[in-house]
């Protein structure tokens, strides 16, 4: 079975533990997730199975949406409610006008410093291991993009936001940074991932539902085709000759009538057989004017 499960990760579970569970239940060795969620976070965790693991990189690069509860007046070393309190401030100094002004400053491309308690590696060592050892190291800021940031509930000291952002964005860091600007401190109290690429919370499956589906043998109905991840990309249908070229890893020329001689975003296309079989990801080679099969998917469907 090749494809993706849209799992609703519960609070307290690690992303790795969900992958381990799916491995055990499906008896499939190749299982991975796209986009780690912290144990305290819940929501959409795409779990890729079989050849679905080969599209993880595309899914991990997709935009994501979150609902975040931020508590003002308290700062922690992890930037969320699981950490040790490092500062307490006066949240009564925050008003809607001030907060809206600060939030607007985070819209667009920003430089964000990852938290110490993160899986980012420095000299081969995850930062969270250094943090647990009491070692605080310099972290290089990284550009991320906030497409939308909106306040949806005001109940001081807790404010609920919805955030749509690029890959690599830490909502914990966003909460911390907002609190620093306002001067009262802030930390993340709750986080739900509403969307990861094409996968939405409303279509996700809970762990009990998934376990029940495995128990009674109908879990495959929850598996999305692996090309679901690439649904927004342009596609081309090839004849039998080009299909064999692609399967054998040979570059192909595409007709001008298909408008594919010019590269699109990233120069990537989906390739299908005449019978609708998903064949490969094609990458445009500008020097040769050819399309090379970057990844070939030999599925049974």
Largest CA distance in the chain: 70
Could you tell me the two tokens for 170? 């830490």
* Bridge partners (DSSP) listed for residue 42: 192
- Three-state SS at 162: strand
Please list, residue by residue across 255-264, b when 16 or more beta carbons sit within 10 angstroms of its beta carbon and e when fewer do.
Answer: eeeeebeeee
- Choose, from 38, 80, 177, 227, the residue flagged as catalytic: 38
What is the Cα–Cα distance from 283 to 131, expressed in whole angstroms?
Answer: 41
> CB of 79 within 8 A of CB of 68?
no
38 catalytic? Reply is yes
By residue count, the chain amounts to 301
> What is the DSSP annotation of 185-214?
-EEEEEEEEEEETTEEGGG-B-HHHHHHHH
> CB of 188 within 8 A of CB of 172?
yes
Cβ count within 10 A of residue 189:
19
> CB of 201 within 8 A of CB of 195?
yes
Which active-site residues does the annotation give?
A: 38
């Amino acid at each position: 079975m090749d494809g993706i499960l849209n799992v609703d990760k519960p609070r307290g579970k690690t992303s790795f533990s969900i992958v381990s569970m799916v491995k055990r239940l499906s008896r499939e060795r190749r299982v991975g997730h796209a986009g780690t969620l912290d144990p305290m976070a819940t929501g959409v965790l795409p779990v890729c199975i079989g050849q679905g693991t080969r599209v993880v990189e595309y899914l991990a690069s997709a935009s994501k949406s979150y609902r975040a509860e931020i508590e003002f007046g308290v700062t922690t070393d992890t930037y969320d409610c699981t950490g040790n309190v490092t500062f307490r401030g006066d949240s009564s100094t925050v008003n809607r006008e001030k907060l809206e002004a600060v939030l607007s400053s985070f819209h667009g491309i920003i430089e964000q410093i990852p938290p110490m308690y993160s899986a980012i590696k420095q000299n081969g060592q995850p930062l969270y291991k250094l943090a647990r050892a009491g070692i605080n190291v310099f972290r290089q800021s990284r550009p991320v993009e906030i497409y939308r940031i909106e306040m949806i509930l005001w109940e001081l000291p807790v404010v609920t936001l919805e955030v749509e952002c690029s890959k690599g964005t830490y909502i914990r860091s966003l909460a911390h940074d907002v609190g620093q600007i306002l001067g009262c401190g802030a930390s993340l109290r709750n986080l739900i991932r509403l969307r990861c690429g094409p996968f939405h919370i409303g279509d996700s499956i809970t762990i009990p539902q998934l376990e029940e589906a495995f128990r009674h043998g109908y879990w495959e109905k929850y598996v999305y085709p692996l090309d679901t991840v690439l649904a927004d990309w342009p596609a081309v249908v090839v004849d039998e000759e080009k299909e064999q070229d692609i399967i054998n890893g040979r570059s192909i020329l595409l007709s001008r009538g298909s408008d594919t001689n010019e590269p699109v975003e990233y120069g990537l296309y989906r390739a299908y057989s005449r019978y609708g079989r998903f064949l490969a990801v094609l990458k445009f080679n500008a020097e040769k004017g050819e399309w090379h099969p970057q990844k070939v998917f030999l599925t049974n469907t």
